[in-house]
C-alpha cells in the first residue's frame, strides 16, 4: 500500500498511482493526475495501484476492511519508523522477519524488498548490469513472445492500458522482461512472468529495481518455476496435493473422488506468485514475506486458502463445483482482508518443517520428471 | 455488464436428457482462445484479453432439441512451454477446439500439430473442431479459407472461421460440436478423470464423463 494510505489520505488522493517513495528512481515516477471533478469518480474507479475496478466492485466490503486496516497501517508505519529510522540499518534478522510478516509500509517496500532479498547487494556488486543488458539484443523469438503479452498484461490497469501515454509502463515491462531473458538464458520468457514484472514495476516505479528483484527471485528465491520444461511448477502443484493429503486427509480424498487432480489447481498461483490472482494488497503482503523468507510462503498461502474453505470444498458434490470454489476463494472477502489472512497463514497451516517440505518436493520433482 | 447474445440456455422448459462433456481449447498464444470462450460463456469481448496462465475452467450450457448439453471447458495457455501441461487438460476430453489466427500462417501450422497430437493421444472418439479465428480481420488474411477447409475435411474435423470480436460463428461452433457428440446411453463411456479411484460416489451425485443421464 502506498504511503498515502498511512497518512490516512488514501480515499482523498486523486492519484491512482501509489505515491512515490523518496528514493525511487528512473522510469516514470511522476504521478498521473486526473483533473477537477473527475477526481472522485476516478478514484472510485481506479485503485491506488492503477487497477480499474469492475462495475460490480464491492465497495462496502472494501471500505469496511480499509477502515480497520488503515489504523493498522498507521501503527505499523510508526513502528518501522521508530525501529529503522535509518534505512541503511535494515538488515536480515528475526526482528525484520517479524516486521515483514506484519507488513512493510508502502514507502519503504521497494527498499526493504531489495535489502531482504539480497538484490541490493547484487546490484552493488554489479552496478552496470541492467544497463549492459539493455544494450544487448534479446533472442528475437523470445522478444516476439514477450511482445505478444505486453498489451495483455494488466489491461485493466491505467499504467498498462494507455498506448500513447508517456507514463505507460509497457515499454519498461518489455525492457525488464528482455533483460531477464538475456540474464537467464535457461528461462528466456515464460508467460506469467509478465504479471510478476508488471506488479514489481507498479510498486518499485523503477525498471532497474524491478529487474533486480525479478532476477533475484529467479536465481535465489523460487524453485525453477520458469524453466522451459515446467517441471518445477508441476512438482509444486503435486506438492500442494501431498501437503493437503498430509494435513487434511479427508478433504484430499473427497476432492480425489470428484476427480480434482492437483495438477489442475494452482498453476497460476505459483507461476504468478499470486499476482493477478489475489487482491493486490494481499499479494504485496505475501511478497513482503517471500522476499525475506523464501518461496515456502507460497505453499502456505495455498494451504491456507484450502484450509479456510475446507467445509465448502467438502460440500462440493461434483468437479465443476469444486473448480468454481478454487476460482472464487482467491478473491473473496477473507482473501481481501490481507492482515488477518496473513495472520492465518502462519496459524492455520501449522508446522511445515523445511526439511520435510524439501524431501516431499524432491519426490514430486522425481515424479514429474518421470511422467 | 450486458451479456446478450449468449447461447440458448435451458429455461427449465426442457425435460429431456442432460449431457455433460469436457471440451478443451488448444492453439498458439494470442490466437483468441480465451476470447472465444468469453464470447461463448459471457457474450463479451475485450480488445485486450489477458494472457491465460496455466488454464482457466469455465462451464456453459446449451440446449439442443430435448437435450441439455453442459460443456466443461478448459481454456489453456498458448505458449509453447505450456505444451507439456496440455495432456492433463485434454485427457478424457470428449471435444476439442483447435484455434488458429487467420492472419498468421504459423498459428495454422501449430494448429495442425495440435490436431495430430490429439489424434494420437487423446480419447479415440474425441470430436475436434478447427476454428480460424479473427475472421473480422479479412484484409490481413494469410490463411485461405479453402486451404483450411480442405485440411479439415481430410482430417474429419469440424471447421468454421470465427470472430470472437463480432461473435461470428462462435455459438455455432460450440453447437456444431454439441450436435456431433454422442448423446445416447451407450455412447461416451464415463471416464474417471484420473487413473486411480474411485470407491464410492456418494449416492451417484457425480456426473462423470460424457454420458447422458
Contact state of B48 with A152 under an 8 Å Cβ cutoff: yes
**Which of B54, B55, B197 lies closest to A256 in CB terms?**
B197
Coil, strand or helix at A266: coil
**Structural element, H or E, at residue A211:** helix A207-216
Residue A42 — very low, low, confident or very high, per pLDDT cuts 50/70/90? low
Q: Looking only at Cα atoms, what is the longest distance across chain A? A: 62
Give Cα separations from B184 to A212, B16, B67, B211, B212 (angstroms): 59, 12, 10, 7, 7
The cell numbers describing A217, all together, are: 527471485
Chain segment A126-138, per-residue pLDDT in tens: 999 999 999 999 9
Per residue in A282-296, pLDDT tens?
999 999 999 999 999
| Nearest-Cα residue of chain A relative to residue B201 | A257
Instruction: Name, in order, each residue with C-beta under 8 angstroms of A9's C-beta and a sequence gap of 6 or more.
Output: none
B51 touches chain A (CB under 8 A): yes
pLDDT tens for each residue of A228-271: 999 999 999 999 999 999 999 999 999 999 999 999 999 999 99
Strand order in the sheet with B67-76: B55-64, B67-76, B18-27, B95-101, B127-133, B158-161
Q: How many CB atoms lie within 10 A of CB A56?
A: 6
Q: Is A355 helix (H, G, I), strand (E, B) or coil?
A: helix
Q: Does the predicted interface ipTM exceed a cut of 0.90? A: no
Question: What are the two backbone dihedrals, phi and then psi, of residue B149, each rounded to the nearest 5 degrees?
Answer: -65, -40
Which among B51, B93, B108 is positioned nearest to B193, based on CA atoms? B93
Dihedral of the alpha carbons of B160, B164, B166, B171, in degrees to the nearest 10: 60
- In angstroms, the CA A114 to CA A183 distance is 18
What are A103's three cell numbers? 507488513
CA triple A247-A253-A255, angle to 5 deg: 100
Which residues in chain A have their CB less than 8 angstroms from residue B194's CB?
Answer: 256, 259, 261
CB interface of B with A, residues 168-207, below 8 Å: 192-194, 196-202, 205-207
CA distance A124 to chain B (A): 34
- Three state DSSP letters for B134-152: CHHHHHHCCCCHHHHHHHH
Entry pTM: 0.87
End-to-end CA distance of chain B: 34
B54 neighbourhood in chain A, CB within 8 Å: 192, 266-268, 271
Per-10-residue mean pLDDT of chain B, 213 residues long, equals 43 69 98 98 96 97 93 97 95 97 98 98 97 98 98 98 98 97 57 36 40 47
pLDDT (0 to 100) of residue A216: 98
How far is CA B174 from its chain centroid? 7
Cα A12 to Cα A68: distance, rounded to the nearest angstrom: 17
Of A154, A155, A267, the CB nearest to B55: A267
Cα–Cα distance between B70 and A145 in angstroms, integer? 34
For A317, residues 6+ apart whose C-beta sits below 8 A from its C-beta are: A258, B202, B205, B206
Amino acid at each position: 500500500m502506498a504511503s498515502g494510505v498511512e497518512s490516512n489520505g488514501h480515499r482523498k488522493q486523486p492519484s491512482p498511482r501509489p505515491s512515490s517513495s523518496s528514493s525511487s528512481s528512473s522510469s516514470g515516477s511522476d504521478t498521473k493526475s486526473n483533473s477537477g471533478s473527475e477526481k472522485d469518480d476516478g478514484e472510485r474507479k481506479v485503485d491506488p495501484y492503477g487497477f480499474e475496478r469492475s462495475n460490480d466492485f464491492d465497495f462496502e466490503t472494501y471500505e469496511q476492511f480499509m477502515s480497520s486496516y488503515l489504523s493498522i497501517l498507521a501503527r505499523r508505519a510508526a513502528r518501522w519508523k521508530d525501529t529503522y529510522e535509518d534505512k541503511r540499518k535494515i538488515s536480515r534478522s528475526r526482528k525484520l522477519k517479524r516486521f515483514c510478516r506484519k507488513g512493510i509500509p508502502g514507502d519503504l517496500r521497494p527498499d526493504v524488498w531489495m535489502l531482504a532479498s539480497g538484490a541490493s547487494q547484487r546490484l552493488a556488486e554489479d552496478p552496470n548490469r541492467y544497463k549492459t543488458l539493455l544494450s544487448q539484443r534479446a533472442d528475437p523469438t523470445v522478444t516476439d513472445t514477450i511482445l505478444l503479452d505486453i498489451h495483455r498484461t494488466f489491461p485493466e490497469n491505467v499504467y498498462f492500458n494507455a498506448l500513447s501515454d508517456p507514463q505507460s509502463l509497457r515499454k519498461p515491462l518489455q525492457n525488464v522482461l528482455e533483460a531477464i531473458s538475456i540474464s537467464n538464458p535457461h528461462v528466456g520468457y515464460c508467460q506469467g512472468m509478465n504479471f510478476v514484472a508488471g506488479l514489481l514495476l507498479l510498486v518499485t516505479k523503477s525498471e532497474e529495481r524491478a529487474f533486480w528483484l525479478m532476477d533475484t527471485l529467479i536465481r535465489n528465491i523460487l524453485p525453477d518455476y520458469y524453466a522451459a520444461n515446467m517441471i518445477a511448477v508441476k512438482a509444486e502443484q503435486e506438492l500442494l496435493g501431498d501437503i493437503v493429503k498430509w494435513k487434511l486427509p479427508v478433504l484430499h480424498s473427497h476432492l480425489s473422488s470428484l476427480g480434482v487432480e492437483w495438477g489442475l489447481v494452482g498453476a497460476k498461483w505459483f507461476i504468478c506468485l499470486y499476482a493477478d490472482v489475489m487482491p493486490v494488497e494481499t499479494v504485496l503482503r505475501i511478497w513482503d514475506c517471500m522476499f525475506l523468507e523464501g518461496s515456502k510462503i507460497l505453499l502456505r498461502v495455498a494451504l491456507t486458502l484450502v484450509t479456510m474453505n475446507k467445509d465448502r470444498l467438502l460440500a462440493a458434490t461434483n468437479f465443476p463445483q469444486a473448480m468454481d470454489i478454487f476460482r472464487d476463494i482467491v478473491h473473496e472477502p477473507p482473501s481481501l482482508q490481507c492482515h488477518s489472512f496473513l495472520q492465518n497463514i502462519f496459524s492455520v497451516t501449522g508446522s511445515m518443517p523445511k526439511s520435510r517440505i524439501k524431501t516431499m518436493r524432491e519426490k514430486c520433482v522425481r515424479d514429474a520428471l518421470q511422467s | 455488464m450486458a451479456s446478450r447474445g449468449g447461447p440458448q440456455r435451458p429455461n427449465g422448459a426442457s425435460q429431456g436428457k442432460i449431457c455433460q462433456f469436457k471440451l478443451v481449447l488448444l492453439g498458439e498464444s494470442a490466437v483468441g482462445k480465451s476470447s472465444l470462450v468469453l464470447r461463448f460463456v459471457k457474450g463479451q469481448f475485450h480488445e485486450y484479453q489477458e494472457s491465460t496462465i496455466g488454464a482457466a475452467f469455465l462451464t456453459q450450457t446449451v440446449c439442443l432439441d430435448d437435450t441439455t448439453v453442459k460443456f466443461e471447458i478448459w481454456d489453456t495457455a498458448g505458449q509453447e512451454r505450456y505444451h507439456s501441461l496440455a495432456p492433463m487438460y485434454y485427457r478424457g476430453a470428449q471435444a476439442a477446439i483447435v484455434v488458429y489466427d487467420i492472419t498468421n500462417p504459423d498459428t495454422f501450422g501449430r494448429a495442425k500439430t495440435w490436431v495430430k497430437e490429439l489424434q494420437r493421444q487423446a480419447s479415440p472418439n474425441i470430436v475436434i473442431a478447427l476454428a480460424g479465428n479473427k475472421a473480422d480481420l479479412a484484409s490481413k488474411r494469410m490463411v485461405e479459407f479453402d486451404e483450411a477447409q480442405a485440411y479439415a475435411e481430410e482430417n474429419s474435423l469440424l471447421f468454421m472461421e470465427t470472430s470472437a470480436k463480432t461473435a461470428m460463428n462462435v455459438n455455432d461452433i460450440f453447437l456444431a460440436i454439441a450436435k456431433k457428440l454422442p448423446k445416447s446411453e451407450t455412447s461416451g463411456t464415463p471416464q474417471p478423470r484420473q487413473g486411480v479411484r474411485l470407491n464410492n460416489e456418494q449416492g451417484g451425485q457425480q456426473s462423470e464423463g460424457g454420458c447422458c443421464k
